[in-house]
Amino acid sequence: MTIIDGITIIDGTTIIIGVTGWKNSGKTTMVANLVGEFVGRGFRVATIKHAHHHFDIDHEGTDSWKHREAGAHEVALVSGERWALMHELDAEAEPSLDSVIARMSPTDIIIIEGYKREPHLKIETRRRETLKDDPLSETDPNIIAIASDYDIPDSEIPVFSQDMVSDIADFVLERTKAVARSGKGAADAAKTA
């Protein structure tokens, strides 16, 4: 994994970009829209979603739930269409973002939802109804753009309407291509792009 001025590129090819924001700011919608946009352009895309609360992908009464309740540390669900691996942390610490990324299959783009405090580049989502919360971009230099449902005229970084998904995807690709092409930091690459 290489980090050039905050842009994370794995094995010279996989781009990592985050979508961050306060609760109800449109993060999940933006991630889903970007996935659709990138897949439509022929990229293979993976996502990582950080949950701040108890979650379960299994349901009480299912066979796999019974396996976990009986004490299985890992349970794999496998079918002809998909597979999932559930790993119980028990007393283990939550895995780091880097360790989760390392376990993922090869892909072109990884979009991360959440993980506000991690050092990868991010797009901040904002909605008018969450204006009471402090803007994250004011304290996080890794936020490279804002996707908002209202105007932000004094922003020092690019601002996109949340429905400008194609433009946001172009911005992400151009920014990462410029850095990969030049081998320089993002500030230097922006001058040559």
Query: Which pTM was predicted?
Result: 0.81
Pairing of strands 14-20, 109-113: parallel
CB 11 within 8 A of CB 104: no
Secondary-structure class of domain 2-54+96-192 per CATH: alpha beta
What would the two tokens of residue 152 be?
């932000």
Which residues lie below 8 Å from residue 113, measured CB to CB, with a gap of 6+? 18, 19, 20, 27, 28, 31, 47, 48, 49, 50
pLDDT over 90 at 17, yes or no: yes
pLDDT over 50 at 185, yes or no: no
pLDDT over 70 at 6, yes or no: no
Sorted by where each begins, the domain ranges of the chain are: 2-54+96-192
How many degrees, rounded to 5, is the angle at CA 34 between CA 104 and CA 40? 90
Q: Mean of the pLDDT values across residues 27-41?
A: 96
Q: What would the pLDDT profile of 44-102 be if each residue is shown by its tens digit? A: 999 999 987 677 778 888 999 899 889 898 999 999 999 888 888 888 888 899 889 88
